[in-house]
Structures are given as structure tokens and as C-alpha cells.
Chain A
Amino acid sequence: MSKKMFSLLSLLVLLATLLAACGSPAAPTASSGDTAPAQPAEKVTLRVLVHQNPPMVAFMEEFNKKFQEKHSNIVVDMSVVNANDLSTVSQTRLSANDIDVLDIFGFSNAAQPYMKQVDPPNWQQLIEAGLLMDLTGQDFLKYYDESALQDAGSYNGKVYAVNLGRVSYSGIYYNKDLFTANNVKVPTTWSELVAACETFKAANIPCMTAGGKDGWPIFVGAYGLLGSIYPDQAALVEGLWTGKIKWNDEKSLEMWKKMQVYARDMMEEGASGIAGDAAPGRFASGAVAMFPGGTWYAAAIEAANPGFEWGYIPFPGSDNADDNKYLFGKYDQGWAIAANTPNKEAALLYLAEFSDPANYQAFVDAVGFIPTQPTAKLNTKIGTEVAPYLANFRVGYEQYWVAPKGAGQFANPWASYFKPFGTDDDPQVLADKVQADLQAGLDAVNK
């Protein structure tokens, strides 16, 4: 090797080593004490990151205004990002030490003992890199459900996030006026749902709509169907990993057949072009009978048409009404603090102020979350609608599932694989393809 070549290679290796050194572990931040947060002595700018959710952003702007009036030495600089980009932006800004308080979804998708070769989820990666502050012992935690703190914000016995509310994604909004006008009973079984759609279609009324342009609203809308067949979704995920459940077994095939009916016959033509945040408006216009979607859409429906009469029911995926009493969902938004924040007092004060029961009640009233503070009341319309099913609230499949490395792109129970959103029109063929894609991953990690 010539001298020049050697020098060039040495330079490259040196550069690579320097760049790699930038990623060396940082010292973790110590836990905060069991005291109420103090006022910062000097004027500070508190950098806050939230995800796009119109009623939540509107509430936060109002809250920030009041917070700044009360604490004149703190200026809140809030950034809003799309939900899909939240994890990337959080990671980037935490790494650059450019954020103090951040919105973080409830901890989920953790690696389970029966899973092989899976990477830890991003929240765990952030904690292990020492980027999130340990909130254990903070006074404001006393306002929250112990179970919510434990399930959605703790890791290795320490609290790193306070979760602000649960949402269901397995229900259907229905248009009360259209149901009454067409003499249709609110469906409690799959057959009744099919019959209801047939009645509406015969009257030239689209049965269901969804924000198909964003992709996920189509398949998330059908998660209730999955839930009615597999009510224990943690067990479903374990069964899929261990091979006890297959996506092409008899029970799953029933699900695929129903998903085809849902995608092909129930969803309105053109739903694939509706953006996720435009779908509530489409439903609130009164043109469509039903809208399968999450409870987070309620505020947008009310804002689009305040006088509109609607209800919310669990997706009736089974012909046994008792199987349809569950609501599946997730822990939604939460707050975490950057471990290396230079504005620790202001950040803790922000969370303490937000957690004050009166402020928290105003927050859940604005966004329609199912509260994680036990003293908060379900004042919203969506709260009233879901109240009868709260005892049957379960964390859903999407929060448990971690795909094995090597699994194909079809290894998911998604209704959007069917025409007109996808290319499939045979449930058996699709079921075999989905299971083959999953099995390929399981075989690869079990080698």
C-alpha cells in the first residue's frame, strides 16, 4: 500500500472514530427530590414540544398564556410537530439538548421475554441513553393513577413520564339523525352492522368513512373487529410469536372475511383520498352514517358541527353481543423532561402547574381523553359515550406488537390490504400471505 493511500485511510479511520466518539454514553441525571418545584431565579425560556392534535394545541396555547402571566420570569416556546414525526424530532432535539419539556406517547411495544432479537422501543432507548429525567418522587405525581404511571411512564421502577389520558381506537361514531331517519337500530352484532350498512347504501347514503389517505385510519378503524375475535390482545401477540395463533387459522380467517366486507362494502367510495384530519369533518357534515375511529376525533367533530347529533359504540365485530363490549386503545400523550435541561426548575414547575387538578380537568374537557387522574370527571360528550365501557377498556394489539426482524411487509392484521385500498380480494389467499410474511420473520430470528 502506498504512503499516500495509507495516509488517506488513516484520516478516514480517524474521522470515523471521532464521529463515533460523539455517541459515547452520557452520565445519567440524578433523581429529583420529593419536593414541590421552585421558581427559577432568572428569566428563562422553556422549550416545549407537542404533537399536532388541534384541540390539544389550542388548549396548550391558552395554558401557556396563563402560565406565563403567573410566572413572569418564564417564557414558553412551544413547537408543534406531526404525530408521525414526534419520536424523530424528540430524539434529535434531546440529542442536541434543545428541548426542556416534551410530549411523549404512553410507553408501549416493549420487548417481551418470548420475543427474540428485537430492539428496544425508542422510549427505552432514550431512557437508557440518560436523556429523560427521572421524575420519581415529584409531588405532582400524587394526582395520577398509580396504574397509569406504572403502565405508561415507568421503566425499571422509576417514573420517566406522566401520562395524561387514555384513548380508545376501536369504536364507531354514528350519526343519530341518519339512524333515526332510516329506522336503523344501533348495531350490537356484526350481522346488525352489515344489515345497517345495506339499509344505508340502499338509501344512497355512504355507510362509513375514514381518513384513508393517511393509510392507518383504515386499518386502525377495524381494530375493534380484531378485538372482538381476540379480546386478550397481549395473549394474541404472544400466541403469534410462539406459533399458537396463526393469521391463517380458522379463527383468523373469520376476521379476514369480515375485514374484506368492511373495506369493500362498508367504507365509502373515495375514502382513500380523505386525509386523516379531514375525516371528522366529512362525518360531521352529516353525509355519512358511521365513522370508525378513535375517541380523539370527538373534539374535531364537535368543532366542525356543534349541533351534530352523534354517538360512539364499540365496533360490533362478533355475532355474540357479549364479545363486542370491549374498547381497545392506548395511553396517549404524556409529559417528560429532558434530563440535561438547563431549565429544570421551570420544567418541573410547568408539569406541576399542568397537573393541578383544575388545569388537568380543563385539559381532558378540551381534548376528550379518558383521564388518568382519578379525581377528574368525564364531562365531555365522548366521555359520556365511553363511560359505560370503561370497565372493559383494554390496551390494544398495536401497543403490544413488535414485528420479528425479517418479517415481511404484510405481517399485520390490516383491513387496508383489501381492495380498493390494497390489491387483495381473496381472504384465504391474503391470510396465507400474511402468515407467510410473519413466519419468515419468526424462522429468521429462531435460526
Chain B
Amino acid sequence: MSYHFGRGRSKWTPYILLLPGLLFYFLIALGPSIATAFYSFTDATGIKGAPVHWIGFDNYREFLFMGRASIDNLEALKRTLVFSVAVTFIQFGLGLFVALIVNQNLKGSNIFRTIYFMPVILGVVIQGLMWSLFLYPLGGPAAKLLSWLGLRSEFLGGPPEQAFAWVIFIQIWANMGITMMIFLAGLQTIPAELYEAARIDGANPLQLFANVTWPLLTPSVNTNLLLNVIGSLQAWQLFLVLVGYRNGTQVLGYLIYATGFGQTSGSVTSSFRQGYAAAASIILFLLVLVIGMTVQYYLQRRETRILG
């Protein structure tokens, strides 16, 4: 199919204009993704000059079925899903609640919008450093608060479940501002007349939310849910900064990083296994694809049903 634009040579103009962007996308995003899929079937080390052998499904077999390590990998997969569900729903609910509050024409609401959004502009390292200091068990602010109640905690260094819960909390704190902003933008597109008409009809605040706000926020709901699901499935940086490579806390994204880039403890030398890490990446990609597509399918159906 050709695009009808001008005559003669000028009809190619849109394609020529699209070409740099397409090439950039192909080189930066699609190309490496295809290469990752290819390398997942090899014993590639990532070292220039090292031979690369085709080993079929060996990496996948090792990741999914070999010994106890495969059970640990599946545990990481399960943990990734738990992390994603917890982050998605809490961040979604909290973001919506805060957006509804700061959308009121109250005094100082702009300041609160800024405060809630502020963590988003900090880098992951800064976020991690801030919380590591706040949760420092030897006299950090959180430890002091607990000590006034006669309690103590190791926080991020405590049992893995506790450390994991803290990462969920910090991930939500760090990204809730984006969710809030998207909802806020959605809320401001809802015409005030609709609320006015509903109020004249005798709608109470709950009915206003259920019958005016919620249906008209559908595009924002869809955007937020998709962003939260995909973002949380791929999250790993906060795990690296806050807890490091610890048994019982790894998610799939971090597992891939540690395997692919030979993360070591001090001077212990390990092998570079980028082929194996590529296989793990493809498994994560499939997970994100299946969940992302399913969520998108249902959200689109819902949007069509509500907004037509």
C-alpha cells in the first residue's frame, strides 16, 4: 500500500522522513532484541574474539529444568509476579487517591503535587542511597522511631521477605508521582458541567466518582495499568542498589543482569555467560509479552464498552 502524498517523487517524502527514525529504532531497539534471541541459542560469552557455538535449547533447558538452580529461577519468576502485582495495584490505587485529592482546588495543592512528584526526578541511585540512610539500623531515623516504641529492625538487611517488602514500598514511593500525574491529566479533561449536572440530579460524591469520574478516566486507567505492569515486571535497579544479590530477594530482571554481566562478590572470578543470560531475557520478554498483551486486550475491550 502506498501513501497518496503529492505527485511523482514527492509521494516518497513521508517514507524518506520516516527512514531515520525507523533505522534508529531498528539499530537501537529491534536489532539488539533479535540478536538477544539469536544469542540465547548459543554459548556466547560477550567477549570479542571468543568463538560462539550454536547449542540449541541448552540454555533454556538449564534455566528451566537443570537441578535446584532451575527451581531457584522459577522462584525468582514467582517473586517477579508478586512484585509486579503488589506494585501495580498499590501504586495504581494510591496514585488515583492522591490525584483526586490534589485535583481539588485547595490551598497549597500545587505544592503537594510537586512534593508527590519529586521522587520521580531522582535517579535510582539517589533514591536507593536516601532510603539506605533512612533505614540504617544503627541509629538511622527509622531505627530511632522504632527504638522509641521499644522495637528494632534490620530493615533492608533483615530477613529476605522484609527486604523484599521494603523494595516494593520504595518502588511505589519512587514511581507513584507518574501515576498521579497521568490521573491528574485525565481528571482535568473531564468537563465540570458533567459534575454539575450530576449534582443537580442528586448524585452524592461516591456516585459522582462511580458514574462520572471513573468511566471518563478510562484512558488514564489503561495507560497507568499498562505502564505499571510492564515497569514492575522489568524492575531490577532498586534491588541492586538496596539489597544487592541476596538469596530470597532476586527478581528475574536482576538475575539476568547478574548472570549476563558476571556480577561477582569481591574478587571471585566467574564466567561470562551472555548466551545463558540472553535465554533468561527471552523468558522475561515472553512473560512481559503475554501479560502485557492480555492486560491490553481486556483494557481495550473495557474502553470500547465504556467510551464506545
Q: Write the residues of chain A forming the contact surface with B, with a CB cutoff of 8 angstroms.
A: 12, 15-16, 19-20, 22-26, 83-85, 87-88, 91, 94-96, 105-109, 119-123, 125-126, 128-131, 212-216, 220, 269-275, 282, 330, 332, 398-399, 404-411, 417, 419-423, 436-437, 440-441, 443-444
Contacts and interface: CB of A to CB of B under 8 A. Distances in A.
B269 A105 contact: yes
17 contacts: A16-B37, A19-B31, A20-B39, A23-B48, A25-B50, A83-B266, A83-B267, A84-B264, A88-B262, A91-B46, A108-B267, A121-B270, A129-B47, A273-B138, A405-B67, A437-B68, A443-B67
Given A23-B47, A272-B137, A407-B67, 13 more contacts: A16-B38, A19-B38, A84-B263, A88-B261, A119-B273, A126-B47, A129-B45, A332-B267, A405-B66, A405-B67, A406-B68, A408-B68, A441-B69
B158 A272 contact: yes
Nearest 7 A/B pairs, CB to CB: A272-B157, A406-B67, A408-B68, A440-B68, A95-B48, A26-B49, A119-B271
Given A91-B47, A273-B138, A330 B267 contact: yes
B80 to A, nearest CB: 16
B302 interface: no
Interface of B: 31, 34-35, 37-39, 42, 44-52, 62, 66-72, 132, 135-140, 143, 152, 154-161, 244-248, 261-273
Contacts of A436: 68
A441 B68 contact: yes
Nearest to B135: A273
A352 to B, nearest CB: 25
B48 A444 contact: no
Nearest to B41: A16
A273 B157 contact: yes
Contacts of B247: 409-410, 417, 422
A270, A398, A407, A419 — which one has the most chain B CB atoms within 10 A of its CB? A270
Contact of B269 (A15, A108, A275): A108
B50 A123 contact: no
A12 B160 contact: no
Contacts of B244: 213-215
A122 B67 contact: no
Given A269-B152, A332-B267, A405-B62, A15 B34 contact: yes
B266 A84 contact: yes
B268 A109 contact: yes
A407 B68 contact: yes
Nearest to A444: B67
Nearest to A420: B154
Nearest to A131: B49
Contacts of B70: 406
Nearest to B48: A95
Nearest to A332: B267
Contacts of A19: 31, 35, 38-39
A274 B138 contact: yes
B69 A407 contact: yes
A384 to B, nearest CB: 24
B269 A123 contact: yes
A216 B44 contact: no
A88 B140 CA distance: 33
A122 B271 contact: yes
B156 A408 contact: no
Nearest to A23: B52
Nearest to B31: A15
A421 B263 CA distance: 21
B157 A421 contact: yes
A121 B72 contact: no
A109 to B, nearest CB: 5
A83 B161 CA distance: 28
A12 to B, nearest CB: 6
Contacts of B262: 87-88, 91, 122
Contacts of A26: 48-49
B154 A270 contact: yes
B69 A20 contact: no
B255 to A, nearest CB: 10
Contacts of A398: 268
A422 B67 contact: no
A404, A420, A441, A443 — which one has the most chain B CB atoms within 10 A of its CB? A420
Given A122-B271, A131-B47, A220 B264 contact: no
A226 to B, nearest CB: 15
B264 A87 contact: yes
A419 B159 CA distance: 7
Nearest to B72: A409
A433 to B, nearest CB: 10
Contact of B67 (A16, A95, A408, A421): A408
Contacts of A408: 67-69, 71-72
Given A84-B266, A215-B244, A16 B48 contact: no
Contacts of A119: 271, 273
Nearest to B139: A270
B269 A409 contact: no
Given A88-B262, A270-B138, A23 B49 contact: yes
